[in-house]
Amino acid sequence: MAVGGFGNILNIPELKKRCLVTLGLLIVYRIGVHIPTPGIDSIALAEIFARAKGTILGVFNMFSGGALERLSVFALGIMPYISASIIIQLLTVTIPFLEQLKKEGEQGHKKITQYTRYGTVFLSIIQGFGISIGLERMGTVLHPGWGFRLMTVLTLTAGTAFIMWLGEQITERGIGNGISLIIFAGIIVRIPDAIGNTFRLIATGEMSVFLILILLVFMVAVIALIVFVEQGQRRLPVQYAKRVVGRKMYSGQSTHLPLKINTSGVIPPIFASSIMMFPATIVSFITVSWIQDLINLLRPGNLLYELLYVIMIFFFCYFYTAITFDPVDVAENIKKQGGFIPGMRPGKRTADYIDKVLTRITLGGAIYVSLVCVLPSILISYFKVPFYFGGTALLIVVGVGVDTISQIESHMLVRHYEGFLKKSGGKIKGRF
């Protein structure tokens, strides 16, 4: 007999297997985070990262799940893969060869994925070499020289390639998007330490209980906003006329075309963070004074950092929406099925109307993502909260959590099991 909620997972062998595979691969990732790169003075490195809290290095360390401050084999994290994905997607729009590959279906997608992997290795080599040079200049290397540099580049590149493989395996054999879940896991494992540190500051009188309560209420409100907007849709009415298929006549019916307010999901802040971190990772290890002044301006909470961050979030909201949702294809499919949007002629007029509506709601989605990512970061910086769990991290954690639960929900509903929202008549909508 099936039980409700999460208990239903155990009653579906395929779903149970996928969940166990996902959990097992994430455990492998967390084990790798604690395997250090050889030749590093861990004490000196820990002192550097103790001073780097609240800087771009602190943000990078958050996305790597704490691997960077240990300089583990996974120190570069998944960000080189994300950077390579951005570059390939941008080139897909501008280079006809890649654009043609994208239209070739599964085989073209495999080829683009292969190019993304090559790009990931190339960027990992560049970042790994930059980090090895920087570590030598900061005096955290036991035996500096080309032997250390080559070993570090090889180790960090292999670590990133392995994380990339883990993410692909989770996506294919597990539940949810593997890359997003790896970032998700790296963020949530830092929560217990942050909570413990907060209690320590309360005990020493450095933070008041009243301030903590205000921040908790604010965080709950932001989580509620994220869940609400992520499930928000603009529904365009679609009318289908009567049609004959073979010997059967199908009567006209009314349905709707759902357009999500935030079609791009958590991709814009992840992409924007990747762009911000790639050059900063390299130049932050350079001791030239004017470069250090520039890095100081790129601290989370500073006006320049937040302004650039918002600009990139807006860009990637529109860019990712444009490459994942084509109004022309949608309009053609509606036309082929004998449907139309009331008041709009089928074809180009319908495509233009869908594009107009999508552009407007994407503006709202971009504003929402920017506020969630930037406003809490500024407040946390202003109130000197002793951990970085700002808007970007919160958006990723909640967004990925909702996405993963919706996929589990879909597996249950396909097999006629009750979902997590029992007897409520509703279900969690997918984010993509």
> What CATH number is given to the structural domain containing 125?
1.10.3370.10
Any domain includes 425: no
Q: Are 79 and 60 in contact (CB under 8 A)?
A: yes
Any domain includes 374: yes
Any domain includes 78: yes
Any domain includes 38: yes
Any domain includes 284: yes
Tally of domains within the chain: 1
| 189-198 CB contacts, 8 Å cutoff, 24+ apart | 189/30, 189/65, 189/66, 190/62, 190/65, 190/66, 190/387, 190/389, 191/389, 193/387, 194/386, 194/387, 194/389, 197/386, 197/387, 198/385, 198/386, 198/387
* DSSP-derived 3-state class of residue 281: helix
Any domain includes 422: no
What are the backbone angles phi and psi of residue 237, rounded to the nearest 5°? Answer: -65, 135
Domain that holds residue 221: 5-414
Question: What predicted TM-score, i.e. pTM, was given to this entire model?
Answer: 0.74
- Each residue's pLDDT expressed in tens, for the chain with a length of 432 residues: 344 556 667 777 888 888 899 999 999 998 888 888 888 877 777 777 666 555 556 666 666 666 677 778 888 888 888 888 888 887 887 888 887 887 777 788 888 888 999 999 999 998 888 888 877 777 777 788 888 889 989 999 999 999 999 998 998 888 888 888 888 888 888 777 777 777 787 788 777 778 778 878 877 888 888 888 888 888 888 887 766 665 666 566 778 888 888 888 878 887 887 777 666 555 555 556 666 666 666 666 677 778 888 999 999 899 888 888 888 888 888 888 778 888 888 888 888 999 999 999 999 999 998 888 887 666 666 665 555 555 677 788 888 888 888 888 777 776 655 555 554 445 555 443
Any domain includes 263: yes
| CA–CA distances in Å: residue 57 to residues 158, 181, 199, 268, 283 | 21, 21, 25, 20, 11
Residue whose pair of structure tokens reads 């998007």 in the numeric block = 177
d(CA 52, CA 61): 10
**Amino acid at the residue 237:** P
Any domain includes 430: no
